[in-house]
Each structure stands twice: as C-alpha cells, then as structure tokens.
C-alpha cells in the first residue's frame, strides 16, 4: 500500500468523524454532511483502483470536471451572478 492511499483513508476517516460530530451538534447540516461524505468516499475509493488504465481514466475525468467547474465559476463571476 502506498502512502497516498493511507493518507487519503486517514483523511476520510477524520472527515467522517468531524461530519458525524457536526450532525450531532447541528442536525440541519445532515444532508450536506452526507453528500460530502459520500463524495469523499467515492474520491478516496478511486485511489484504491488497482488497474492503471481505469485509474488514469478516472483521474482524467476528475481533472476535466474540475476544469469545467472552474470555467463555469469564471463565467458566473463575469456575468455578475456570483
């Protein structure tokens, strides 16, 4: 197991503990905590892909999603919406 997998898994566990604590303290954030927790579980799971071809495709997909969201954010800022 590489160190990055251990670090990502530890970060996921830490986030889930913090999210559970926040839901207990503030139940109104339960939906957001669940959504982000699910997203982080999926993203951490990508690091555990053993097939290099599938891993590369997943990483490239995530990269293009990030680029697209950054572009959308720029358009929204330029349009005065955000």
User: Are 43 and 63 in contact, with CB atoms under 8 Å apart?
Assistant: no
Distance separating alpha carbons of residues 29 and 20, to the nearest angstrom: 10
Question: Could you tell me the pTM of the whole model?
Answer: 0.68
pLDDT, residue 1, reads 53
Q: What is the pLDDT of residues 11-55, one digit of tens each?
A: 999 999 999 999 999 999 999 999 999 999 998 988 888 888 988
pLDDT, residue 63, reads 93
pLDDT, residue 82, reads 80
Cα separations in angstroms, 15 against 29, 33, 37, 41, 56: 14, 9, 8, 10, 26
Nearest to 8 by CA among 48, 38, 49, 35: 48
């Amino acid at each position: 197991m590489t160190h990055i997998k251990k670090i990502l898994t530890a970060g996921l566990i830490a986030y889930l503990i913090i999210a559970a604590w926040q839901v207990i303290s503030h139940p109104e954030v339960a939906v957001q905590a669940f959504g982000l927790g699910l997203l982080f579980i999926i993203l951490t799971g990508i690091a555990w892909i053993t097939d290099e071809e599938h891993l590369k495709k997943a990483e490239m997909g995530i990269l293009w999603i990030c680029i697209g969201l950054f572009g959308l954010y720029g358009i929204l800022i330029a349009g005065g919406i955000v």
